[in-house]
Amino acid sequence: MRKRKKLLIILPVVAVVALIVTIITLSGGGGSSIKIIGSNTVTPLSSVWAEEFMKTHPGVSIAVSGPGSGVGIAALINGTTDICQASRKIKQTEIDQAEANGVEPYEIQVATDALSVVVHPSNPVSELTIVQLSAIYTGEITNWNEVGGNDAEIVAIARDTNSGTHVFFKEHVVQMQGLPTEDKSLEYGGGVLMLPSTEEGVSQVASNPNAIFYPGLGYVTEEVKPLAIKQTADSTGVLPSVQTALDGTYPIARPLLFYTNGEPTGVIKDFIDYCLSSEGQEKVIEVGYVPLQ
Amino acid sequence: MLGKTSPTTTAEPADTLRRRWRLGEKLIESWIFLAGILTIVVLLGIIALLLKEGLPAFWYTPPWEFLFGTKWYPVSEPPTFGILPFFVATFWVTLVATAISVPIGVACAAYLAEVAPAKVRETVKPIVEILAGIPSVVMGFIGLMFLSPLVQSAFNLNTGLCGLTAGIMLSLMSLPIIISVSEDALRAVPYDFREASYALGATKWETIRHVCIPGALSGITAAVMLGVGRAIGETMTVLMVAGGALAVPVAPTDPMMPMTAAIASGIGNAVRGGLQYQALFAIGLILFILTLAVNLIADRVLERQKRKFAR
- Nearest CB to B245 within list A71, A153, A194: A194
A147 to chain B, minimum CA–CA distance in Å? 18
Q: Do residue B247 and residue A166 have CB atoms under 8 angstroms apart?
A: no
CB atoms within 10 A of CB B285: 19
For residue A20, pLDDT over 70 is answered with: no
Q: Which of the residue ranges B4-18, B40-54, B160-174 would you say has the lowest mean pLDDT?
A: B4-18
Helix or strand or coil: residue B47? helix
Domain A33-111+254-287 shares a fold with domain A118-251:
yes
Distance between CA B211 and CA B106 in Å, rounded?
14
Q: Which residues of A touch B161 (CB under 8 A)?
A: 193, 195, 204
pLDDT value of position A69? 87
Mutate to test the interface with A, among B152, B246, B253 (most CBs of A within 10 A): B246
CATH number of A118-251: 3.40.190.10
Residue A165 is predicted with a pLDDT of: 87
| A199–B contact, CB cutoff 8 A | no
User: Does the beta-carbon distance from A97 to B149 stay under 8 Å?
Assistant: no
| Minimum Cα–Cα distance from B255: chain A residue | A193
Q: Which of B161, B240, B271 is closest, CB to CB, to A97?
A: B271
The residue-averaged pLDDT of A17-33 equals 57
Residue B4: pLDDT band by 50, 70, 90 thresholds? very low
- Put simply, whether the predicted model's pTM sits higher than 0.80 gets the answer no
Q: Indicate the CATH number for domain B66-308.
A: 1.10.3720.10
Contact yes or no for A192 and B245 at CB 8 A: yes
Question: Which residues pair with residue A62 across a beta bridge?
Answer: A34
**Among the CATH numbers 3.50.50.60, 3.40.190.10, 1.20.1250.20, 3.40.50.1110, which is that of A33-111+254-287?**
3.40.190.10
Q: Is A167 on the interface with B (CB under 8 A)?
A: yes
Residues A193, B73: C-beta atoms closer than 8 Å: no
Contact B244 A188 (CB under 8 A): no
The pLDDT mean for chain A works out to 86
Taking contacts as CB-CB distances below 8 angstroms, the residues of chain A near B255 are 191, 193
Q: Where are the domains of chain B?
A: 2-54, 66-308
Residue A232 in contact with residue A130, Cβ under 8 Å? yes
Q: Give the count of alpha carbons within 13 A of A14, CB side only.
A: 6
pLDDT higher than 80, residue B306: no
Contact A72, A38 (CB under 8 A): yes
Which secondary-structure segment (H or E) carries B245?
A: none
Average pLDDT of span A170-198: 88
Domain edges within chain A: 33-111+254-287, 118-251
Q: How far apart are CA A41 and CA B5, in angstroms?
A: 85
Structure confidence at residue B13 as a pLDDT band (50, 70, 90): low
Q: Can you tell me the distance from the alpha carbon of A233 to that of A164, in angstroms, rounded to the nearest whole number?
A: 27
**Mean pLDDT score, A232-256:** 89
- Rounded Cα–Cα distance for residues B159 and A207 (Å): 10
Q: What value does the mean pLDDT take over residues A275-282?
A: 91
With a CB cutoff of 8 Å and minimum separation 6, the contacts of B264 are A196, B235, B236, B239
B146, closest residue in chain A (CA to CA): A207
pLDDT of A280 > 80? The answer is: yes
CB contact under 8 A, B268 and A70: yes
Which of A78, A80, A98 minimizes the C-alpha distance to A36? A80
| Contact with chain B for residue A194, Cβ under 8 A | yes
Residue A230 predicted with pLDDT over 70? yes
The 3-state secondary structure of B257-300 reads: CCHHHHHHHHHCCCCCCCHHHHHHHHHHHHHHHHHHHHHHHHHH
A188 contact residues in B (CB cutoff 8 A): 246
- Which of A71, A189, A208 has its CB closest to that of B269? A71
- Name the H helices within B55-162: 57-60, 63-68, 84-110, 118-132, 136-142, 148-154
CB contact under 8 A, B158 and A160: no
Q: Kindly determine whether residue A194 and residue B246, on different chains, have CB atoms separated by under 8 Å.
A: yes
Q: Where are the alpha helices (DSSP H) in B155-235?
A: 163-188, 191-199, 204-207, 213-215, 217-233
Is the Cβ pair A162, B268 closer than 8 Å?
yes
Minimum-distance CB partner of B244 among A71, A77, A193? A193
Question: Which one of A73, A89, A93, A195 would you mutate to disrupt binding with B, by most B Cβ within 10 Å of its Cβ?
Answer: A195
If you measure CA to CA, which chain A residue comes closest to B73? A187
pLDDT of residue A162: 79
pLDDT at B301: 81
Minimum Cα–Cα distance from A67: chain B residue: B268
**Among A29-43, B142-156, B208-222, whose mean pLDDT is lowest?**
A29-43
The fraction of chain B above a pLDDT of 70, given in percent, is: 94
pLDDT of residue A238: 92
Enumerate the β-bridge partners of residue A32: A60
Distance separating alpha carbons of residues B204 and B98, to the nearest angstrom: 27
What is the structure's pLDDT at B150?
Answer: 92
ipTM at complex level: 0.75
User: How do residues B39-49 score in pLDDT, each as one tens digit?
Assistant: 999 999 999 99
Instruction: Pick the residue from chain A with its C-alpha nearest to B85.
Output: A190
CB B248 within 8 A of CB B84: yes
Residue A11 has pLDDT above 80, yes or no: no
pLDDT value of residue A53: 92
**Pick from B239, B246, B271: CB nearest A74:** B271
**Structural contact between residues B276 and B83, judged by C-beta atoms closer than 8 angstroms:** no
Residues of chain B found within 8 Å of residue A195, distances taken between Cβ atoms: 161, 244
Q: What is the pLDDT of residue A133?
A: 94
- Chain A residues with CB-CB distance to B247 below 8 A: 189-191
Mean pLDDT of chain B: 87
Query: Residue A12 has what pLDDT?
Result: 54
Q: What is the pLDDT of residue B310?
A: 60
Nearest to A204 by CA among B165, B90, B137, B232: B165
Chain A partners within 8 Å of B243 (Cβ): 193
Kindly state whether A150 is in contact with chain B, defined as any CB-CB distance less than 8 angstroms.
no
Spatial distance between the Cα atoms of B243 and A158, rounded to a whole number of angstroms? 10
Task: Report pLDDT for B1.
Answer: 43
Q: Does residue A28 surpass a pLDDT of 50?
A: no
Question: Is residue A75's pLDDT more than 60?
Answer: yes
Give the pLDDT of residue A140.
92
Q: What gap in Å lies between CA B223 and CA B120, rounded to an integer?
A: 22
Backbone angles phi, psi at B149, to 5 degrees: -65, -35
Chain B residues within an 8 Å CB radius of A160: 244, 265-266
The answer to which of A4-13, A278-287, B8-17, B275-284 has the lowest mean pLDDT is A4-13
- B85/A contact by beta carbon, under 8 A: yes
Do A54 and A6 touch, CB atoms closer than 8 A?
Answer: no
- Closest residue, chain B, to A91 (C-alpha): B75
Q: What is the DSSP letter of B247?
A: S
Q: Is the pLDDT of residue A2 over 90?
A: no
Q: Do B268 and A67 touch (CB under 8 A)?
A: yes
Q: At residue A285, what is the residue type?
A: I
Cα separation, A217 vs A220, in Å, equals 5
Q: How many CB pairs under 8 A join A and B?
A: 85
pLDDT digits (tens, 9 = 90+) for A150-179: 999 999 999 988 788 888 899 899 999 888
Rounded mean pLDDT, A93-113: 91
- Among B85, B239, B245, the residue with its CB nearest the CB of A193 is B245
Q: Residues of A with CB below 8 A from B246's CB?
A: 188, 190, 192, 194
Mean pLDDT in residue range A268-276: 93
Q: Could you tell me if B265 lies within 8 Å of chain A, comparing CB atoms?
A: yes
Contact A195 B244 (CB under 8 A): yes
- For residue A17, pLDDT over 70 is answered with no
pLDDT exceeds 80 at position A97? yes
- Which neighbouring-strand residues pair with A143? A153
Whether A208 sits inside 8 A of B240 (CB atoms) is no
Q: Which residues contact A111 (CB under 8 A, 6 or more apart)?
A: A42, A45, A255, A256, A281, A284, A289, A290, A291, A292
Residues 6+ apart with CB under 8 A from A60: A31, A32, A33, A34, A53, A54, A267, A271
Residues 52-71 of B with CB under 8 A from A: 70-71
